Amino acid sequence: MKMSDGVEQAIHSVAMLSGLSEGGVLSAAALAEFHGVSTSYLLKHLQALSGAGILDTVPGPRGGYKLAKAAEEISLLDILLAVEGPAPAFRCAEIRQRGPNPVSDRFFAKPCNISAAMLRAERVYRAELAKTSIADLGIELNALDDGSIAARGCAFLEIHERKTAR
Amino acid sequence: MKMSDGVEQAIHSVAMLSGLSEGGVLSAAALAEFHGVSTSYLLKHLQALSGAGILDTVPGPRGGYKLAKAAEEISLLDILLAVEGPAPAFRCAEIRQRGPNPVSDRFFAKPCNISAAMLRAERVYRAELAKTSIADLGIELNALDDGSIAARGCAFLEIHERKTAR
């Protein structure tokens, strides 16, 4: 079981975008440069984040990405589901219904208890991820920072942030 | 994020093996037939379960698989880790250290707080899976059963269970 590298890239990108000033956007190329990753690969994940209502896209040559809502309202779960899709990791192929001698159909009206137990654990996992917002991550990072982490981000935004009409 | 179909097959197989009588074993072919799955694919997962100390293998033409410990001592987490490996689903590629202007190395002594939050949720997930044993699943299933699910398993074991010297 492995999630795509895109999850890490997407979370870092959303965290970076939470530092933009009002009306500012960052291009996919700038986000990719800051994180040292492939622009084309990151673009796929930024589009998924836009599709999920986490990012807004400002079109045009001076366009880019910004948060579509407050950093407090974007959880790690929101980002995971945007990048990896909503399906649970455990997939039940209903093998209990196969084989040469299946039991009566009425036992299959309820989900298999193996599937139920696996999905119960995934609900707990998702609930845990839902507890942490992008704003929380920023607060944690600030607590560690002697100013140099913030300065690095600010210096990058100073050069790369694009101001839009809005 | 998707786990392999092998997880479902492995859990059902271990549950089936928990119904063997003392000294009995089942072949991979019998387990595959009962669940309507590919023997060669299932074999790979049975070998992983043996490697993890969940199953014992009895060699020889009358050999097969049986539990290596009590059903109460085998959790869903044990089976998941045997089939999928111990690595967490979230992989941190330390992209915070990349890019044109990384911050001081000393900030990288501690794990990135994004990675820490993702792994915290996985610990909660694993703890939840560790709560359910193969014995628990049997108790749940018995509570639903009017006798026909047990009868199906017993009829299959009657034909396919191999008695070993031990």
CA distance A40 to chain B (A): 16
What one-letter code names the amino acid at B155?
A
Nearest CA in chain A to B122: A125
Contact B103 A11 (CB under 8 A): no
Query: How high is the mean pLDDT of chain B?
Result: 92
Average pLDDT over residues A121-146: 94
Nearest CA in chain B to A76: B118
Q: Which two tokens stand for residue A18?
A: 């939470």
Cα A84 to Cα A47, A115, B164, distances in angstroms: 13, 20, 47
Give the position of tokens 């092998």.
Answer: B6
B36 to chain A: which residues are within 8 Å by CB?
A: 95, 98-100
Contact A156 B101 (CB under 8 A): yes
Side-chain half-sphere exposure of A86, counting CA atoms within 13 A = 2
A9 to chain B: which residues are within 8 Å by CB?
A: 95
Q: What is the DSSP string of A34-87?
A: HHT--HHHHHHHHHHHHHTTSEEEE-STT-EEEESS-GGG-BHHHHHHHHH-SS
In the prediction, which pLDDT does B165 show? 59
CA distance B21 to B108: 54
Nearest Cβ partner for B89 among A3, A100, A113: A3
Kindly report, residue by residue over A3-22, the tens digit of the pLDDT.
988 999 999 999 999 999 99
A39, A61 in Cβ contact below 8 A? no
Q: Which domains does chain B have, with CATH numbers?
A: 5-163 (1.10.10.10)
Enter the ipTM. 0.92
What one-letter code names the amino acid at A79?
I
Side-chain half-sphere exposure of B97, counting CA atoms within 13 A = 11
H/E segment holding residue B133: none
Kindly report, residue by residue over B68-104, the tens digit of the pLDDT.
999 999 999 999 999 999 999 998 898 888 877 777 7
Average pLDDT over residues B99-116: 82
B33, B64 in Cβ contact below 8 A? no
B3 to chain A: which residues are within 8 Å by CB?
A: 1, 89-91
Nearest Cβ partner for A36 among B4, B95, B140: B95
Contact A121 B128 (CB under 8 A): yes
H/E segment holding residue B84: helix B76-84
